[in-house]
Every structure is written in C-alpha cells, then in structure tokens.
C-alpha cells in the first residue's frame, strides 16, 4: 500500500511519515511483542496521503491563494482564513484510490479483530509538527556547515 503503513512497519524513525503516537506503537509492537506483551496492531494513514489529498483535489492552490496576502497581525482575519482552509480540507472528496486503501486496511483490521472493530483516530499534534520542523532545520544547518567546511578544504 502506498499511503497506509501498519504499525509493525514503522518505528521512531518514521515520526515525520506517521506521527509520534503511531511510530511509538510500532516500536511497542516490535519490542514488547518479543517479550510476550500483547500490543494491538493497527495502521496509520501517512503524511504522504495528506499531501496527495491536498494536491489531487486542487486544494493546494486554493490554500496558497487564501494565504497570499495574509497579515499575521490581524488575528480575526487569520482565524477566518484558517477556518476556510479547514473547511476545504474537511469537505474535500477523498481520491478513490486513497479511499480504497483505507477501506482495504480497515477490512484487514476486521479480519484480525472482528467485524466492526473499533478504531482510534488521531491526527498530528503541534508538538510532532514542531519536532519535524526542528529536525528539518537541523538537517539544513548541518548541510550548510558541511558545504562551508568542504569549501574551506579546497
């Protein structure tokens, strides 16, 4: 599957792809399962699925247009634009291939745990986004310093 990752497939190195909670569940399944601790499985819908939804539905351009002349000091306008963007995402038609992947994964959950199995739905939290952003910034700084060091050697 392209946009679904089972918890058994992910670990702490996949926070950017599936979020911290899902990555931690993957770690627990792999590490505690060996010791006889039963951790229920599940699946994560990846950040790539979100990007695909945004691009495939044309929302990406609409978000860009909505934020084009944003004045971040105008909190009322900022809230209105944020609400508008959330509405675009909430009301978007999920692409058929993505929807089928999610349905297929849920059917697999039903095979494992029974028909109509209850699931928990989580989304990225601010802390995870901030962790991801900081990690990317650190990587960029590291690459820049490596380029400077490399130039100084020659």
Q: Is residue 48 part of a domain?
A: yes
Same domain for 113 and 149, yes or no, is no
CATH of the domain at 8: 3.30.1490.20
Q: For residue 77, is it within any domain? A: no
Number of domains in the chain: 2
**Predicted local confidence at residue 47, as pLDDT:** 92
| DSSP symbol at 12 | G
Residues 41 and 10 both lie in one domain: yes
Whether residue 10 is contained in a domain is answered as: yes
Asked if 107 and 152 sit in the same domain, the reply is no
pLDDT tens, the chain, 154 aa long: 899 999 999 999 999 999 888 999 999 999 998 888 988 899 999 999 999 999 999 999 999 999 999 988 899 999 999 999 999 998 999 999 999 999 999 999 999 999 998 888 876 555 555 555 666 667 777 776 666 555 554 4
Residue 5: helix, strand or coil by DSSP? strand
Q: State whether the Cα torsion 70-75-76-80 is positive or negative.
A: positive
For residue 154, being part of any structural domain is answered with: yes
Mapped to the 3 state alphabet, what secondary structure does 68-108 carry? CCCCCCCHHHHHHHHHHHHHHHHCCCCCHHHHHHHHHHHHH
Given this model, what pLDDT does residue 120 score? 81
C-alpha 68/C-alpha 76 separation (Å) is 16
Q: Are 56 and 87 in contact (CB under 8 A)?
A: no
Q: Do 97 and 133 share a structural domain?
A: no
Residue 150, domain member (yes or no): yes
Same structural domain for residues 100 and 43? yes
Pair (16, 50) in one structural domain? yes
pLDDT value of position 154: 46
Statement to judge: residues 117 and 151 lie in one domain:
no
Give me the pLDDT at residue 142, please.
73
Q: Is 22 left (phi over 0), alpha (psi -120 to 50) or beta?
A: alpha
**Residue 116 and residue 145 in one domain:** no
User: What residues make up the domain containing 98?
Assistant: 4-57+93-123
């Amino acid at each position: 599957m392209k946009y679904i990752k089972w918890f058994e497939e992910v670990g702490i190195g996949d926070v950017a792809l599936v979020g911290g909670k899902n990555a931690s569940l993957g770690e627990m399944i792999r590490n505690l399962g060996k010791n006889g601790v039963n951790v229920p499985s599940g699946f994560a819908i990846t950040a790539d699925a979100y990007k695909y939804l945004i691009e495939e539905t044309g929302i990406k351009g609409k978000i860009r247009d909505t934020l084009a002349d944003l004045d971040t000091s105008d909190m009322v306008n900022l809230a209105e634009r944020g609400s508008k963007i959330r509405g675009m995402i909430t009301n978007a038609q999920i692409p058929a291939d993505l929807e089928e992947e999610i349905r297929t994964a849920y059917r697999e959950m039903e095979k494992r745990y029974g028909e109509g199995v209850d699931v928990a739905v989580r989304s990225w939290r601010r802390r995870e986004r901030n962790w991801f952003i900081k990690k990317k910034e650190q990587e960029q700084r590291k690459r820049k310093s490596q380029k400077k060091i490399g130039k100084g050697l020659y």
